[in-house]
Amino acid sequence: MLEIDKFTAAAHEYSPLNLAYVGDAIFSLLVRTRLVTQANRPAHALNKMANARVKAAAQSANYYKIQRHLTEEELAILKRGRNANPAQKAKNATVQDYRNATGLEALFGYLYLSGQNTRILELFDICWSDADEEKL
């Protein structure tokens, strides 16, 4: 297992795009883990379901969903990520959805790098609401 303590002291010093880079992987792993633990499905079905949850439009919806549950520090990270200017442009999303998704990913990356795993799971549970599960 990765010794995350090596990174925690400097989590707030990473650029928002670096936080989003890590957060993208964390969010994707959480989605995949949740899908696998819900039911034993074929890999292609899991991939299709995971892609629907990690695409920019879905992450943008989660951006708005979790805002009222955030601390001031978390909200600042979320907005810092949203306001970052990535070198690449959105391919299959609006600019606003892409920016919001980057903000969400930056928050998850920050929380991971600062060792706040319990908080990550709390916020992920908000993103993964009961209404969403009915669609599966």
For residue 66, give the CATH number of its domain: 1.10.1520.10
Token digits for 77? 């990270």
Handedness of CA 39, 45, 49, 55 (dihedral sign): positive
Count structural domains, the chain.
1
Closest listed residue to residue 53, CA positions, set 101, 21, 20, 120: 101
The pLDDT score that the predictor gives to residue 133 is 47
Residue 18 has pLDDT above 50, yes or no: yes
Mean pLDDT, residues 96-114 taken together: 95
The pLDDT score that the predictor gives to residue 116 is 94
For 55-102, the pLDDT digits (tens) are: 999 999 999 999 999 999 999 999 999 998 776 777 788 989 999 999
What is the domain range of residue 59? 5-134
Active-site residue list: 24
Token digits for 49? 């379901």
